[in-house]
């Protein structure tokens, strides 16, 4: 059996189907999409790719299937889905996901398309695997789909340990060996066997700790916002959403450098000359109209802030992340012989949800020199000072409340 | 500068004072006291000692002092206290701590005594360090004492990572490098600098996850209860509390093997032929009289259970752990420019306290063959079945609720 | 003190000078040059960059200086040189180094230029550091230059552990903590203190083991040869050597994709559709004329092979690596009170040199379908079959002798 | 499948047979025998036991068997042998091995005895496994015995990584995942598959580097010599060799403490108040009569040195280790389709043998105060100064040549 050496899981055994899939262009392309986008602006070692992550997910799926006693064609399908689960990703992965969707339609359609025609489909068919069923598994459909995409999926298990290994932040170091061993199917539902409430909590806590320190680190968010804004300018020009989605990180970076509308942004990102926070406000008790504002409204607010502050439109970025969710709270655990959702069993889950809401922040970003002025205007434009609730002790240009971890 | 190689912190630099202290008998004795007592019955690699832990605490104290800018004699004293903080430990460390106290008086008196006379005191004095002040630091007194024994002490930071390294359970893998860097003295209080609410939470969570899986794993608790009961029999005989306290693990084990009152227990422990749980009941809503029962009452209950079950007295062990506490909840963090206790700032702390209470369990242990019968009797003797609240779905001899991790 | 989190050395403390240097474009550019070029074709996790490596070298220099008791401006200079030692690297680092030199002149001139004007020079001067002296240190000049570039430099110490961490191959895991502690200056020479013959041997062995398994893995060599050949085609066109040198990995990759002369090569590299070995022959006893053939001669041979095999010129790549050297053999160690070169003290060094010569291989690479035919022709053209010595038991298209490690 | 958590191999799956064997007294006893004896006097974290090592060997045997495609009863036997391979060890493992043999006869007889009667035999038979065949496998007999005890056995693979993990010395960190995958049976011989010359070399190098730094560190050797000498005094008294062999570390330590003939030695060992080297001489070119001197002669020499130096007999310990061997040099590797012994294929093997001979040292140890005087006398008594060859630049009491690594 062919093996591939991985920095996280050591030797990964690769089946024949997997070898053939690995040799396709859509999978090889994942070598050129980094796992964590702009997080490397905070943690310079975070340069791992969707390709090695996909291998890791494949490996954990294989281990889980083996412990679950699932073999043959059924297992082959799940492994293929695990390996392929990220082929639909565009450049910079989640950083530009929403943007790409807005310009191309649904993500899973794209995966469907990638799986249903071209090289990947040919190989799947050559191995007698139905591309449509694989696409279903990637989308988390069916009993076995939960293993690929669900509350207890192997995707999550791989990325937490992998991101910990590559950032140096230890919080993601979960006991994945135990997790894949304790999975069970009970009444068609994937659940953790009895005696694992805490195993489930530990998984949840790992993500809860990695979130503000890695995934939503303010500096990574600013980098992402700048990248997104620049890429939008490309989309305002000749670039179509579909073209963008087919790019990898290199293509996008070089396009940003070479297009005159974005070369300044590319230069800034390339030198890590980032915008600063002009406003950093808790969103916990925010009126819905702000949080649910659509993309057009956000752009209008930005324009208004820029105008009133007397700066050009590109100098203001308003970053309103979606309401935080915690899908893991529906993780199923067997307690006293019955399946229960973790959220009902564990006191911690409710607390973690509250914490997540407390950490939820709106940001207005601007060049360092203009940040203070823009902050003052933004507070007024966004009605933050009038409500009195949002900015409590956030003075414009000073952003006191969120924990910040080691950053460059 | 002399260095010692450690499996956790790699090269540890050792000052001259430390070298001299390391060469004393009370410190060398710690080589023969394992860090985690009976936990090796669950995790066979957990054979690390109080000696290597003491070196680790010394090292982290040194790092913290350096980041705090504390030097000279003051730092020398803290480092000495860190190195010496465990010299008062008896055999099997915390496993027999309460028992030894009951038979000898207070723990810290003993440390005082060890530090104030004999070899250690001579060396301290030879280096112009006042043994009494060192003893004070070990007891957590004064501004700098907090570093040695307090909510943010380096003791805790070392044992979490060390126990994770040696058990293989990853949950204790904290970011100690960050913790020692972020300590500050604010108004004489040791606190974490601004931006570290989550650093503090992560430390708390690490201990909360290690607790049920390692420190209070049911099998480790049973081993500890058996060891404690056997040792009590030695104390009922010729052995004095003071003699016991001066033993190391080897002395105690061999004494247990050679004394006819305890050789059977030693044989059982030696073969890992452990008692089983006859009752395993939540203590959350327990009447105070049960939880606060003194040692004599517990022995009487055991005798009554044994009598009514028709077994000899040695076949019943009742294990009622003290009410759980969470000193870390008073960890101080700087938020918005002022010091706040973590418990007030963090939603998680309250949830963790609740979780801890939920995990709090009374155990009745007995030889496998008698466990079911003894369980039934114990429930009746202890009034568990009458209250109806404690044993909810705990049938005697079946112990469903606590998460159990990988065990032998 | 500001710190940056690194996946290898954990928290790295960064001085003010270093922070300012890190913010320059030439240093930030190193984020976009991967450390190991095409090695990721074998080890998919090997995506670490020259940027994180430069930080690591900076860190180890800082540690070494501290142990050597060197402080102040002198230390500041060495640290700056350590941080900047790779700023001259072109895209794909060592993969294209020789090619770039052939087209631009000497490497160190380029570093000199980068350091002596522009942003970096300004910052060095603003901190009262002489750019010329820094450039000298980077070139290994003077007593302290040995620390940056020499047999015992911190560059080597960082890359071995870092490459081990990111490839998953454990052989590079040296004891760098010990190495930086045991450095001494004896009569102006950097040496390892007494008792370290084996420390020096271990460093040498680590590199000797990493060489064939990582740095010169056949698949990485093929990828590198294909990349080099494609890049040459760009240089045959409009691209100048100086322009090439200023590119980063993204620029080069995208240029290769978009240029019609190279888009097929880029496609092949992008899909990991690599050439295979048509000949793989030991070079140990090779006549000098073959080994010392200049670039033009190599191209002529390739053309001749292609012509006689009836394939187009692009289908044949002849890869003749330079004679292996072992600079580490002159590592100085203190033995019996005097400095000795390791090569004189250690029996292993001579054996490692022999091993290195034995592993030295000429490769002829070609598309899979043509490999056998091209191999036969190449053996004849290169006179390999006439000599009888080179191809001993290497049949064309079958390449038996070199150890191959885990590969995709 | 039951799993046990190990600090080195993470989750180890344990078959039913293994579970039953683990529950026996002879296997549980291995919890109380440390893996590296007195090495903890140098590396304080080296407290791991033969029990966890046995589990590790069991695990690697299981992995190797699975890759070799060996299943059923045959595999069950090998796994049992792997788990049981160390049950014959006496207290302090290899430290007292020779001494115990001198007093009891052959080691393997003892294993035979342990396996052929009592609990272990009963369990083996209950599972239809023939104790005699298991004993044969432990002794390395037959085709599959090579896996348990031979040049490529899993024993070696486990102890190298385990000792590295627990000492903190990285040199033992081999790629065991690759080793167990590359094993093949060729003509009934266990060999490494083609392409693994270097895999084999890396294993050899790991042991070669661990030897002087860990296994034969001078301080560990002194501790061992003191322990051995003290234990001999017990054997001169009431203790029989058979009783000694049945002890574990605790029994021996406490016996040494309580016996008046040895309490001073126990006190010294307990406080790490060790003898120093009075002579430390290369044995490379030593006349056979010295190297091959039997135990009685060594004792006579010690007595003579003590007498002429005017100290009591206990103050002189002469330590003449056996001629070093390198069984790994006969490791079989497949090269060009045929099996070759590594020693013939690899240039490194001969060099490592030479290095080993160069590191081979005779020691005379004595209390610090008398070391210089005793050294001078010993040189004369042992004829070292007359020969002129042995002590080249070793002045008595000064011991310059061997590399010493980090020590307390």
Nearest CA in chain B to C180: B11
Strand partners, A271: none
pLDDT in tens, C292-347: 788 899 999 999 999 999 999 999 999 999 888 888 888 999 987 889 999 888 88
B144 to chain D, closest Cα gap in Å: 28
CA proximity to C404, closest of C179, C189, C214:
C214
What is the per-residue pLDDT for C195?
Answer: 86
Nearest CA in chain A to C163: A7
CA-to-CA separations, A265 to A32, A97, B98, C253, D375, in angstroms, rounded: 21, 19, 65, 21, 75
| Mean pLDDT for the stretch of residues D157-179 | 96
% of chain A beyond a pLDDT of 90: 70
Whether residue D181 and residue A10 make contact (CB cut-off 8 A), yes or no, is no
What is the per-residue pLDDT for D106?
Answer: 64
Ranges B219-228, D168-177, D340-349: which has the least confidence: D340-349
What is the per-residue pLDDT for A294?
Answer: 87
Chain centroid offset of residue D245 CA: 16
Chain centroid offset of residue C212 CA: 13
Whether residue B251 and residue D249 make contact (CB cut-off 8 A), yes or no, is no
Interaxial angle between packed helices C154-167 and C197-210, expressed in degrees from 0 to 180 and rounded to the nearest 10:
50
How many helices (H) and strands (E) in chain D?
22, 9
Q: Are D342 and D381 in contact (CB under 8 A)?
A: no
Tell me the C-alpha distance between A198 and C263, whole Å. Answer: 53
Strand partners, C11: C5
DSSP string covering D213-244: IIIT-HHHHHHHHHHHHHHHHHHHTT--HHHH
Work out the burial of residue B131: count CB atoms within 10 Å of its CB; fewer than 13 is exposed, 13-18 middle, 19 or more buried.
Answer: buried
**Confidence class of residue D280 from pLDDT cuts 50, 70 and 90?**
confident
- Count of A–C CB contacts within 8 Å? 115
C interface test, pick of A39, A47, A83, A86 with most C CB neighbours within 10 Å: A47
Ranges A319-333, B240-254, B376-390: which has the least confidence: B376-390
Q: Which strands, in side-by-side order, build the sheet including D183-186?
A: D183-186, D189-192, D332-335, D338-341
**Confidence class of residue A336 from pLDDT cuts 50, 70 and 90?**
confident
Domain ranges of chain B: 2-168, 275-323+360-408
Tell me the C-alpha distance between B203 and B348, whole Å. Answer: 12
Q: Are B54 and B23 in contact (CB under 8 A)?
A: no
pLDDT in tens, B221-250: 999 999 999 999 999 999 999 999 999 999
Whether residue C348 and residue D346 make contact (CB cut-off 8 A), yes or no, is no
Query: Subunits touching B (CB < 8 Å, at least 3 pairs)?
Result: A, C, D
What is the per-residue pLDDT for C154?
Answer: 97
Taking residue B67's Cβ as centre, other Cβ atoms within 10 Å add up to 15
Tell me the C-alpha distance between C397 and B174, whole Å. Answer: 53
| Mean pLDDT for the stretch of residues A287-291 | 72
Any C CB within 8 A of A233 CB: no
Cβ-based contacts of B10 with chain C (< 8 Å) = 177
Nearest CA in chain D to A180: D11
Task: State yes or no: pLDDT of A244 exceeds 80.
Answer: yes
Nearest CA in chain A to B213: A198
pLDDT in tens, A156-173: 999 999 999 999 999 999
| Mean pLDDT for the stretch of residues D307-335 | 91
B396 to chain A, closest Cα gap in Å: 14
Buried b / exposed e across C108-138, counting CB within 10 Å, b at 16+?
A: eebbbebbeeebbbebbeebebebebbbbbb
Helix or strand run (H / E) with residue C192:
strand C189-192
Any B CB within 8 A of A345 CB: no
Whether residue C181 and residue B10 make contact (CB cut-off 8 A), yes or no, is no
Tell me the C-alpha distance between A203 and A192, whole Å. Answer: 12
Any A CB within 8 A of C408 CB: yes
Cβ-based contacts of D181 with chain A (< 8 Å) = 3, 11
- Please name the member of B205, B336, B404 whose beta carbon is closest to the beta carbon of A400: B336
- Count of C–D CB contacts within 8 Å? 85
Whether residue A7 and residue C249 make contact (CB cut-off 8 A), yes or no, is no
CA-to-CA separations, B248 to B266, C118, D246, D268, in angstroms, rounded: 16, 67, 21, 16
Nearest CA in chain D to A182: D1
Task: State yes or no: pLDDT of A393 exceeds 50.
Answer: no
Q: A 62-81 residues with CB below 8 A of B?
A: none
Nearest CA in chain B to A212: B198
Whether residue D181 and residue A3 make contact (CB cut-off 8 A), yes or no, is yes
**Four-point Cα dihedral D269, D270, D273, D275, nearest 10:** 0
Tell me the C-alpha distance between A370 and A266, whole Å. Answer: 20
Q: D 174-193 residues with CB below 8 A of C?
A: 174-175, 178
Whether residue D4 and residue B250 make contact (CB cut-off 8 A), yes or no, is no
Q: Are A154 and A297 in contact (CB under 8 A)?
A: no
Tell me the C-alpha distance between A14 and A396, whole Å. Answer: 54
Any A CB within 8 A of D3 CB: yes
Whether residue B44 and residue D40 make contact (CB cut-off 8 A), yes or no, is no
D319: helix, strand or coil = strand
- Count of A–D CB contacts within 8 Å? 10
What is the per-residue pLDDT for A396?
Answer: 35
CA-to-CA separations, B408 to B11, D2, D6, in angstroms, rounded: 33, 8, 10
Tokens of C256: 């290769």
Task: State yes or no: pLDDT of D404 exceeds 60.
Answer: no
What is the per-residue pLDDT for B106?
Answer: 63
CATH of the domain spanning C2-168:
1.10.3210.10
Any D CB within 8 A of B44 CB: yes
Whether residue D178 and residue C205 make contact (CB cut-off 8 A), yes or no, is no
Work out the burial of residue C18: count CB atoms within 10 Å of its CB; fewer than 13 is exposed, 13-18 middle, 19 or more buried.
Answer: buried
Whether residue C272 and residue A52 make contact (CB cut-off 8 A), yes or no, is no
Tell me the C-alpha distance between C77 and B258, whole Å. Answer: 67
DSSP string covering B242-285: HHHHH--HHHHHHHHHHSTTTHHHHHHHHHT---EEEEEEE-TT
Q: Which range is most confident: A378-387, C216-225, D342-351?
A: C216-225
More confident residue, B26 or C108: B26
Largest CA distance in chain D: 66
Tell me the C-alpha distance between A144 and A188, whole Å. Answer: 9
pLDDT in tens, A250-285: 999 999 999 999 999 999 999 899 999 998 888 876
D67 to chain A, closest Cα gap in Å: 9
C252 to chain A, closest Cα gap in Å: 9
Whether residue D271 and residue B52 make contact (CB cut-off 8 A), yes or no, is no
Whether residue D44 and residue B251 make contact (CB cut-off 8 A), yes or no, is no
Task: State yes or no: pLDDT of A395 exceeds 70.
Answer: no
Phi–psi pair at B142, nearest 5 degrees:
80, 175
Q: Which strands, in side-by-side order, build the sheet including A361-366?
A: A276-282, A361-366, A317-319
| Mean pLDDT for the stretch of residues A201-226 | 94
Any D CB within 8 A of B31 CB: yes
Cβ-based contacts of A3 with chain D (< 8 Å) = 181
| Mean pLDDT for the stretch of residues A338-346 | 88
Tokens of A173: 């170091």
Whether residue A175 and residue B169 make contact (CB cut-off 8 A), yes or no, is yes
Any B CB within 8 A of A355 CB: yes
Any A CB within 8 A of B338 CB: no
Task: State yes or no: pLDDT of D393 exceeds 70.
Answer: no
Q: Which residues of chain C have pLDDT under 50?
A: 385-408
CA proximity to B375, closest of B318, B328, B295:
B318
C interface test, pick of D8, D157, D202, D344 with most C CB neighbours within 10 Å: D202
Whether residue C254 and residue A249 make contact (CB cut-off 8 A), yes or no, is no
N-terminal to C-terminal alpha carbon distance within chain A = 43
Cβ-based contacts of C196 with chain D (< 8 Å) = 403
Nearest CA in chain B to A402: B195
What is the per-residue pLDDT for D116?
Answer: 81
What is the per-residue pLDDT for B402?
Answer: 30
Whether residue A270 and residue C28 make contact (CB cut-off 8 A), yes or no, is yes
D58 to chain B, closest Cα gap in Å: 14
Cβ-based contacts of A177 with chain D (< 8 Å) = 10-11
- Count of B–C CB contacts within 8 Å? 10
Any B CB within 8 A of D22 CB: yes
What is the per-residue pLDDT for A108?
Answer: 57
Whether residue B40 and residue D31 make contact (CB cut-off 8 A), yes or no, is yes
Tell me the C-alpha distance between D58 and D60, whole Å. Answer: 6
pLDDT in tens, C147-167: 999 989 999 999 999 999 999
What is the per-residue pLDDT for D109?
Answer: 63
- Please name the member of C3, C11, C181 whose beta carbon is closest to the beta carbon of B3: C181
């Amino acid at each position: 059996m062919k093996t591939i050496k991985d920095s996280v899981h050591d030797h990964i055994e690769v089946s024949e189907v997997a070898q053939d899939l690995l040799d396709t262009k859509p999978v090889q392309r994942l070598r050129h999409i980094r796992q964590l986008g702009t997080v490397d602006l905070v943690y310079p070692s975070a340069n791992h790719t969707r390709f090695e992550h996909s291998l890791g997910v494949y490996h954990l799926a294989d281990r889980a299937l083996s412990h679950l006693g699932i073999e043959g064609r059924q297992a082959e399908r799940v492994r293929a889905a695990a390996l392929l689960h990220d082929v639909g990703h565009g450049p910079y992965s989640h950083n530009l996901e929403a943007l790409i969707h807005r310009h191309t339609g649904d993500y899973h359609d794209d995966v469907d398309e990638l799986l249903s025609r071209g090289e990947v489909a040919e190989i799947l068919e050559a191995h007698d695997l139905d591309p449509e069923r694989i696409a279903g598994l990637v989308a988390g459909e069916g009993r076995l789909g939960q293993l690929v995409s669900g509350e207890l999926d192997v995707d999550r298990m791989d990325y937490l340990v992998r991101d910990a290994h590559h950032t140096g932040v230890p919080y993601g170091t979960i006991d994945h060996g135990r997790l894949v061993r304790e999975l069970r199917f009970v009444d068609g539902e994937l659940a953790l066997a009895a005696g694992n409430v805490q195993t489930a909590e530990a998984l949840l806590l790992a993500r809860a700790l990695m979130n503000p320190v890695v995934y939503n680190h303010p500096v990574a968010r600013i980098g992402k916002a700048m990248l997104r804004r620049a890429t939008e300018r490309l989309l305002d020009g000749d670039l179509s959403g579909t073209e963008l989605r087919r790019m990898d990180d290199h293509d996008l970076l070089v396009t940003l450098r070479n297009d005159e509308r974005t070369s300044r942004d590319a230069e800034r990102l390339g030198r890590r000359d980032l915008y600063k926070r002009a406003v950093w406000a808790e969103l916990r008790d925010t009126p819905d109209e702000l949080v649910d504002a659509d993309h057009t409204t956000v752009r209008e607010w930005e324009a208004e802030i820029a105008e009133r502050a007397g700066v050009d439109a590109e100098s203001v970025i308003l970053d309103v992340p979606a309401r935080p969710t915690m899908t893991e709270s529906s993780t199923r655990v067997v307690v006293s012989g019955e399946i229960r959702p973790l959220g009902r069993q564990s006191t911690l889950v409710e607390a973690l949800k509250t914490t997540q809401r407390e950490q939820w922040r709106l940001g207005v970003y601007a060049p360092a020199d203009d940040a203070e002025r823009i902050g003052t205007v933004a507070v007024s434009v966004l009605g933050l000072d009038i409500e009195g609730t949002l900015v409590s002790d956030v003075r414009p240009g000073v952003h006191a409340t969120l924990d910040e971890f080691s950053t460059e």
